[in-house]
């Protein structure tokens, strides 16, 4: 096994978030035109904004701003708010309105932006001793999702993120759990669960000490059936220092080794949006170090207009990933929330991008599946476009489903060149109706606000 000894004697850059409060003091602010600065100030009153010096210095190409993909991914753009919303917030800032008034208007607009994507308010929350376990989702038989309460923020925010509501703290939208004991008790009762997925926000925002508490609890001898621990993270792209030069990076590597020595498969589900995220020395060192612990890295991301809506971008990303030892996993379709009108790509275009990229890479990168929509009944995979009785149809399948019997059976929807999400599709034939399930009211009473599509 390769042992990477990196992180000693190198420049240790400490993490510092860039937000609306301090962005004007960064060296890059001077590179933005007055219009672009205004857009950052206005849009960030409603949608969350967070960046950091590494993203700004190494990943954004300021010569290409505003079209640069990493700028689009991390900086608020004027088009992300509806014109009327933009003007409202612009006027308030112009008039030097009070914080209270700005916050009140911002909240009113936020509630119009579908903060609970796909209507997932009450589904998938499991119970233990008759009580719900908040911060846990059990949707598919084998896999339990856990949202550690200490991991609900990120090293930078993606402008498209469907978890935006929790970052701006809209009342009642937070969903996280501190109670690892309850999760462990639940897992002991459910020997069919093989996978636990820590997600967020970004669990890698946690210090190694805090993360250790969670992971050690999952190494309980009575949880031998939990074979796989996945950690969804964008830190590999936004703050690779976490794995290389942060003060507790070495401890983190020892912790990963401990999980692997415990006979578990440890997988970092790396959220990579663009090949530039893999281009820096430190991002490559991070991958090398993680792999040296015996952990695996998989790559997944949504397809986002202006960021990665082009086959070459994905082919390049998967190829580079494979070279560095990351395994291409999913391409997702962007969810219906926040600034989706700005980022959305028609399903047919998503399929073309996927197919174009897939055709350009070798078999080792073809472990990837997509484009995939995380919908109420399951993960719907767009396989392509075909014809039934001379009528064009989408060919679809479930990669994951609440009802496991639906998985991997091709089914058909009427072709619609404008459709961007599953709920706009209609069954092509009578037989296909069984695949179009609608949510039923749930028995669980606690509000569930985050339906993960595992992009981190």
Among 23, 43, 80, 161, binds ligand SF4 (CB under 6 A): 161
Binding status of residue 400 toward ligand PLP by CB under 6 A = yes
Do residues 180 and 213 lie in contact, with contact meaning Cβ atoms separated by under 8 Å?
A: yes
Q: What is the Cα–Cα distance from 274 to 376, expressed in whole angstroms?
A: 28
**Partner from ligand PLP, ligand SF4, none binding residue 374, C-beta < 5-8 Å depending on class:** ligand PLP
Q: What is residue 148's DSSP assignment?
A: B
By C-beta, is 45 or 166 nearer to ligand PLP?
166
Binding status of residue 143 toward ligand PLP by CB under 6 A = yes
Q: What is the Cα–Cα distance from 219 to 425, expressed in whole angstroms?
A: 43
Q: What is the Cα–Cα distance from 307 to 157, expressed in whole angstroms?
A: 14
Please identify which residue in the block is written with the tokens 């916050």. Answer: 103
**Partner from ligand PLP, ligand SF4, none binding residue 322, C-beta < 5-8 Å depending on class:** none
**Partner from ligand SF4, ligand PLP, none binding residue 343, C-beta < 5-8 Å depending on class:** none
The rounded Cα 445 to chain-centroid distance in angstroms is 26
What is the H or E stretch that residue 51 is in? strand 51-52
What are the tokens at 61?
A: 């190409």
Binding status of residue 202 toward ligand SF4 by CB under 6 A = yes
Do residues 101 and 91 lie in contact, with contact meaning Cβ atoms separated by under 8 Å?
A: no
- Mark the segment that binds ligand SF4 (CB under 6 A) among 100-108, 152-160, 255-263, 435-443: 152-160
By C-beta, is 159 or 245 nearer to ligand SF4?
159
What are the tokens at 311?
A: 């086959």
Provide φ and ψ at 84, rounded to 5°.
-65, -40
Closest CA to 429 of 445, 414, 446: 414
CB of 301 to ligand PLP, least distance (A): 13
Q: What is the Cα–Cα distance from 292 to 178, expressed in whole angstroms?
A: 30
The length of the chain, given as a count of residues: 456
Binding status of residue 456 toward ligand SF4 by CB under 6 A = yes
CB of 379 to ligand PLP, least distance (A): 6
Do residues 413 and 396 lie in contact, with contact meaning Cβ atoms separated by under 8 Å?
A: yes
Q: What is the Cα–Cα distance from 129 to 148, expressed in whole angstroms?
A: 21
Among 18, 106, 145, 350, binds ligand PLP (CB under 6 A): 145
Do residues 20 and 40 lie in contact, with contact meaning Cβ atoms separated by under 8 Å?
A: yes
Among 85, 138, 230, 234, binds ligand SF4 (CB under 6 A): 234
**Partner from ligand PLP, ligand SF4, none binding residue 137, C-beta < 5-8 Å depending on class:** ligand PLP
Residue 298 falls in which region: left (phi positive, over 0), alpha (psi -120 to 50) or beta: beta
Q: What is residue 271's DSSP assignment?
A: E
CB of 117 to ligand PLP, least distance (A): 12
Binding status of residue 120 toward ligand PLP by CB under 6 A = no
Binding status of residue 453 toward ligand PLP by CB under 6 A = yes
- Whole-angstrom CA distances from 317 to 57, 96, 201, 202, 277 are 20, 44, 23, 21, 9
Residues touching ligand PLP, count (CB under 6 A): 12
By C-beta, is 199 or 245 nearer to ligand PLP?
199
**Partner from ligand SF4, ligand PLP, none binding residue 140, C-beta < 5-8 Å depending on class:** ligand PLP
CB of 361 to ligand PLP, least distance (A): 20
Do residues 120 and 440 lie in contact, with contact meaning Cβ atoms separated by under 8 Å?
A: no
Binding status of residue 271 toward ligand SF4 by CB under 6 A = yes
Q: What is the Cα–Cα distance from 421 to 419, expressed in whole angstroms?
A: 6
Binding status of residue 335 toward ligand SF4 by CB under 6 A = no
**Partner from ligand SF4, ligand PLP, none binding residue 271, C-beta < 5-8 Å depending on class:** ligand SF4
- Mark the segment that binds ligand PLP (CB under 6 A) among 128-136, 167-175, 437-445, 446-454: 446-454
Binding status of residue 452 toward ligand PLP by CB under 6 A = yes
Binding status of residue 150 toward ligand SF4 by CB under 6 A = no
Binding status of residue 374 toward ligand PLP by CB under 6 A = yes
Applying CB under 6 A, the residues found at the interface with ligand SF4 are: 154, 157-158, 161, 163, 200-202, 234, 271, 455-456
Applying CB under 6 A, the residues found at the interface with ligand PLP are: 137, 139-140, 143, 145, 374, 379, 399-400, 452-454
């Amino acid at each position: 096994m390769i042992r990477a000894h990196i992180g000693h004697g190198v420049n240790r850059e400490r993490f510092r978030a860039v937000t609306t409060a301090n962005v004007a003091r960064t060296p890059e602010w001077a590179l933005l035109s007055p219009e672009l600065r205004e857009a950052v100030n206005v849009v960030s009153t409603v949608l969350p904004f967070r960046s950091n010096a590494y993203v700004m210095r190494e990943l954004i190409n300021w010569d290409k701003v505003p079209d640069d993909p990493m700028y689009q991914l991390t900086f608020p753009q004027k088009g992300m708010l509806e014109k009327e919303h933009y003007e409202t917030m612009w006027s308030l800032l112009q008039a030097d309105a009070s914080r209270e008034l700005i916050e009140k208007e911002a909240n009113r607009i936020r509630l119009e932006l579908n903060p609970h994507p796909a209507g997932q308010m009450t589904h998938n929350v499991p119970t233990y001793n008759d009580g719900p376990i908040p911060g846990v989702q059990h949707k598919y038989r084998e896999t339990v999702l856990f949202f550690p309460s200490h991991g609900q923020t990120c090293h930078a925010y993606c402008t498209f993120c469907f978890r935006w509501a929790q970052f701006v703290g809209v009342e009642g939208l937070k969903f996280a759990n501190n109670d690892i004991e309850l999760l462990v008790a639940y897992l002991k009762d459910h020997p069919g669960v093989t996978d636990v997925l820590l997600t967020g926000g970004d669990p890698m925002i946690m210090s190694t000490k805090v993360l250790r508490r969670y992971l050690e609890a999952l190494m309980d001898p009575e949880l031998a059936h939990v074979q796989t621990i996945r950690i969804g993270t964008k830190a590999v792209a936004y703050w690779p220092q976490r794995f290389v030069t942060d003060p507790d990076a070495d401890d983190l590597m020892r912790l990963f080794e401990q999980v692997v020595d415990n006979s578990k498969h440890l997988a970092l589900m790396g959220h990579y949006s663009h090949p530039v995220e893999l281009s820096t020395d430190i991002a490559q060192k991070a991958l090398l170090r993680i792999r040296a612990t015996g952990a695996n890295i998989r790559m997944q991301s949504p397809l986002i207009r202006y960021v990665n809506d082009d086959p070459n971008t994905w082919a390049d990303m998967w190829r580079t990933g494979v070279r560095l030892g990351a395994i291409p996993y999913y391409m997702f379709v962007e969810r219906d929330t926040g600034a989706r009108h700005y980022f959305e790509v028609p399903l047919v275009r998503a399929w073309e991008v996927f197919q174009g990229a897939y055709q350009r890479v070798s078999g080792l990168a073809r472990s990837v599946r997509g484009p995939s929509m995380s919908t109420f009944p399951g993960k719907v995979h767009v396989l392509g476009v075909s014809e039934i009785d001379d009528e064009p149809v989408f060919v679809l399948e479930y990669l994951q489903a609440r009802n496991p019997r639906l998985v991997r059976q091709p089914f058909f929807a009427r072709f619609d060149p404008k459709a961007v999400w599953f709920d706009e599709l209609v069954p092509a034939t009578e037989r296909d109706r069984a695949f179009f399930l609608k949510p039923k009211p749930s028995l669980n009473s606690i509000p569930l606000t985050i339906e993960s599509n595992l992009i981190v």
